[in-house]
Amino acid sequence: MIHIVVPSTTTLVERSDGVTKYTAFNIHINGWLHATIRYSLLHKFAETVRLKFDSRFGGRFSLPEFPPKKLSLTRLDGSALDERRLKIAKYLQTLVQQAEIVRSTIVERTFLEFQLESYRPASSSVNLDVFLGDGTRHCVRCGVLLNTRDVMKVLSETLECDFDLLSQYFGLFLVRERHDTGRTSNEDMLPVRLLRNFESPYVSLQMANQRSASRGVQYKLQLRRMVWEVTAHERLIECPVIKQLLFKQASAGFSSGLFSASSSESAEQLYSLKGQPHAVDRFLRLCTQQSSYGYDNLGVADCEMHHRPAQRVECSMQIGRRQLLLTCTKTGEEWIFRATRIRTWRISQPVSVIDPLLFQFEYLVGKDHFEWVTIHTDQAILLSLLLQSIGADILHEQHEAAKEAAREALSENDVISPLKMPTSSSSSSIQKTANLSYPRDDYSTFTPYTPSSGTSKVTVLPEVISGTSNSSFANEITDDDL
């Protein structure tokens, strides 16, 4: 999922002469300023997409027309410039809803180039501090041009961990201190942004801190667990590095009160095991037995349950165990929303830009009966990305179950007639067996949706962006940038 808006423009001066002015468009991706880019580069990107995908897919993509170049050399007036901005925003919003385009390397590579073109880092290689789950710092030497996936690869090498395992169950987040206590503590950090492959972690961190410096907020990079089913711990602790990463985050969460023991006896055991270096396995297994373990706490938000009209409730938000948990801060009342019962969700910008975003989801409360739940939160986009990650996790599990069912069916056929290849009828029975392994409340019924201005409606099906980038834009100057 990519949530993209172009809310404003900026007048910049050419680096070449320090005099000539041009207008650039401020592109915000997933709630954060990503890049400030001139029209000519955006136009070049649109042409690249058109040439590549019109020929490849026969022009079946219904992208809106990118605003054309103007015919005269005069500068665009305010209304014309605003019209161009709105058309660029509509084009980009529609483009990122096209799964085939998003899955190609074009979007990922170009968005990364936009970010680098906008920030212009002074050096090509840096020491990047990545904090682990308990706040310990891990320094990696990496290139500024590396995207999130590449940085995760470097991190996996320095940790001596399998990259596929690390990237599947952990993510790289921007975090800040959860509470403004006046003291520096890296143990209890609030995740605010999940970094994706179209951005450079170093540049994203620098840009975030530049904009927050006046508020006294400092962001850091943290490697955090993205394990949505606690039963997965049993197989993950077989990898020594993954086991230590899980232990660090679990021990920090227990110490800071992000999860608690279900009984005094369990609490005593956890405190005892936490301090024993050779009891990591037992500590993690005991953690998974606590009902409050396995959640990420995303802070406090105002929530509206549509079956309780005209009532906004302040709740703490937690996501984990394949569900969203809302707890009323005043009464302690809890509402649990299972991910498999969420039909769709959307992110909206309220009328006032200073108000938090609206995260709304349609939830199955009874047979064929859905109700809307609204959450007012600045964490709307992160919440959406984490729900999408849960969806990908469930789909992966279903896929593995289907493959296992197919293997078992094939094995049964081999036992009956080991010298015969499977016939078309046996292949058909294998497919039926695989289909039976899927739960009824899966995600196959979701359909894509093209957002209107200010609203993003997404599917639960994961939209994967893959590939890396090694190129950069040349600085192009045209009269259309005026």
Identify whether residues 65 and 151 lie together within a single domain.
no
Which pTM value belongs to this model?
A: 0.83
Identify whether residues 347 and 358 lie together within a single domain.
yes
Identify whether residues 17 and 95 lie together within a single domain.
yes
Residue 166 falls inside a structural domain: yes
- What pLDDT tens digit does each residue of the chain (482 aa) get? 789 999 999 999 988 888 889 999 999 999 999 999 999 999 999 999 988 887 665 556 678 889 998 765 567 888 889 999 999 999 999 999 888 888 889 999 999 999 999 998 888 899 999 999 999 999 999 999 999 999 999 999 999 999 999 999 999 999 999 876 444 567 789 999 999 999 999 999 999 999 998 888 999 999 999 999 999 999 999 999 999 999 999 999 999 999 999 999 999 999 999 989 899 999 999 999 999 999 999 999 999 987 665 678 999 999 999 999 999 999 999 999 999 999 999 998 877 767 889 999 999 999 999 999 999 999 999 999 999 999 999 998 899 889 988 888 887 776 544 444 444 433 333 232 333 232 333 333 333 333 334 455 443 333 333 333 333 333 333 445 55
Query: What's the CATH number where 136 sits?
Result: 3.10.20.90
Residue 468 falls inside a structural domain: no
Residue 256 falls inside a structural domain: yes
Give residue 167's domain range.
121-226
Identify whether residues 352 and 454 lie together within a single domain.
yes
DSSP symbol at 80: H
Q: Into how many domains does the chain fold?
A: 4
Identify whether residues 104 and 248 lie together within a single domain.
no
Contact 149, 197 (CB under 8 A): yes
Identify whether residues 155 and 260 lie together within a single domain.
no
Identify whether residues 259 and 125 lie together within a single domain.
no
Identify whether residues 358 and 379 lie together within a single domain.
yes
DSSP symbol at 135: S
Residue 122: partners with Cβ closer than 8 Å, 6 or more residues away: none
Residue 324 vs residues 36, 53, 401: alpha-carbon distances, Å? 35, 38, 25
Residue 72 falls inside a structural domain: yes
Q: Which of 92, 120, 148 is the last residue of a domain?
A: 120
Identify whether residues 155 and 102 lie together within a single domain.
no
DSSP symbol at 478: -
Identify whether residues 174 and 158 lie together within a single domain.
yes
Q: Which tokens in the block code for residue 121? A: 């880092």
Identify whether residues 111 and 155 lie together within a single domain.
no
Sequence length of the chain is 482
Residue 414 falls inside a structural domain: no
Identify whether residues 20 and 116 lie together within a single domain.
yes
